[in-house]
């Protein structure tokens, strides 16, 4: 099975991508993308799974747990500032009504129903790296934010730069040295006809796959290192979803390339 998942034409409910623990052959992360024309709506309840609804583009009204968030979002593209998101505890039904054409990412992971519905605005930007390793990070659900399993972050990598680099991994349940986290990368490009590259590989090379990813593709990272490169002329956005048995992001760089950050 390829680690790259391509979007398909919208289903009747607007779904264009749907990665489940069953389809991915793993335990924790779920990822779905829904595209809604203005006036359409999407309703769902995540049984035994918490959710983070990330409004990728457009404006929507979200109703969940007795709360109503009117006309939230508003980005014309994922490169247009910060995302607005809604956290929904496990077992709470939600509805998303499109106030304009909209695209929504639904990120899920195991949950007991603890916590409360809340609106999230990820305005703070963290600049990581230097030179052609510079990228711009907005945490939506970091390991210091309230949630049960989910970690969600969006990253913009300028054209000609590398990201998730030096190659790093988080596939050992060995806290505090490293944590085990499954991960998905949802890729968008500007201009959208572009492409980027992602490699997923393990120390033993039992996984070693290099993919040319296009606008709207997802790459699944069950284990191993997972660097990304954006060609000159094409800015790359990706939305990361991570989850595992412990809600901490502790990674290990590939020893062969760790010298890059020790210069």
The predicted-structure confidence for 4-48, as pLDDT tens digits, reads as follows 999 999 999 999 999 999 999 999 999 999 999 999 999 999 999
Rounded-to-10 torsion of CA 143, 145, 147, 152: -60
The predicted-structure confidence for 139-176, as pLDDT tens digits, reads as follows 999 999 999 999 999 999 999 999 999 999 999 999 99
Please tell me the distance from the alpha carbon of residue 111 to that of residue 211, in angstroms, as a whole number. 32
Peptide bond into 166 cis (omega under 30): yes
The predicted-structure confidence for 112-129, as pLDDT tens digits, reads as follows 999 999 999 988 999 999
Res 105 pLDDT > 70 = yes
Q: Which helix (H) or strand (E) holds 22?
A: helix 21-24
Q: Which residue ranges make up each domain of the chain?
A: 4-262
Assign domain 4-262 one CATH number from 2.60.120.10, 3.30.70.260, 3.40.50.720, 3.30.70.270: 2.60.120.10
The predicted-structure confidence for 186-213, as pLDDT tens digits, reads as follows 999 999 999 999 999 999 999 999 999 9
What is the per-residue pLDDT for 36? Answer: 98
The predicted-structure confidence for 208-254, as pLDDT tens digits, reads as follows 999 999 999 999 999 999 999 999 999 999 999 999 999 999 999 99
Question: What is the pLDDT averaged over residues 171-182?
Answer: 98
Res 1 pLDDT > 70 = no
Cα distances from 175 to residues 74, 212, 249, in angstroms, run 39, 33, 10
Residues 6+ apart with CB under 8 A from 98: 36, 37, 38, 39, 40, 41, 58, 59, 60
Res 263 pLDDT > 90 = no
Please tell me the distance from the alpha carbon of residue 30 to that of residue 118, in angstroms, as a whole number. 20
Give pTM, 2 decimals. 0.97
Q: Is 12 exposed, middle or buried (0-12, 13-18, 19+ CB in 10 A)?
A: exposed
């Amino acid at each position: 099975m390829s680690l790259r998942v391509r979007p398909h034409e919208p289903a009747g409910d607007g779904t264009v991508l749907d990665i489940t623990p069953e389809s991915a052959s793993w335990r924790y992360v779920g990822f779905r993308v829904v595209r809604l024309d203005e006036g359409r709506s999407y309703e769902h309840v995540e049984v035994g799974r918490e959710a983070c609804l990330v409004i990728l583009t457009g404006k929507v009204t979200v109703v969940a747990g007795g709360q109503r968030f009117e006309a939230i979002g508003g980005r014309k593209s994922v490169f247009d500032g910060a995302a607005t998101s809604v956290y929904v505890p496990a077992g709470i039904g939600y509805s998303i009504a499109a106030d304009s054409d909209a695209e929504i990412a639904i990120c899920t992971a195991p949950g007991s129903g603890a916590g409360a519905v809340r609106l999230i605005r990820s305005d703070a930007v963290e600049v990581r790296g230097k030179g052609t390793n510079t990228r711009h990070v907005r945490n939506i659900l970091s390991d210091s934010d309230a949630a049960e399993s989910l970690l969600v972050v969006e990253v913009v990598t300028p054209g000609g730069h590398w990201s998730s680099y030096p190659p790093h991994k988080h596939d050992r349940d060995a806290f505090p040295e490293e944590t085990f986290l499954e991960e998905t990368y949802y890729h968008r490009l500007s201009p959208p006809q572009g492409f980027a590259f992602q490699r997923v590989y393990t120390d033993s090379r039992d996984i070693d796959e290099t993919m040319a990813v296009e606008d709207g593709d997802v790459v699944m990272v069950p284990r191993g290192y997972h660097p990304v490169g954006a060609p000159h002329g094409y800015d790359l956005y990706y939305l990361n979803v991570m989850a595992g048995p412990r809600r901490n992001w502790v990674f290990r760089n590939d020893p062969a390339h760790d010298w890059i950050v020790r210069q």
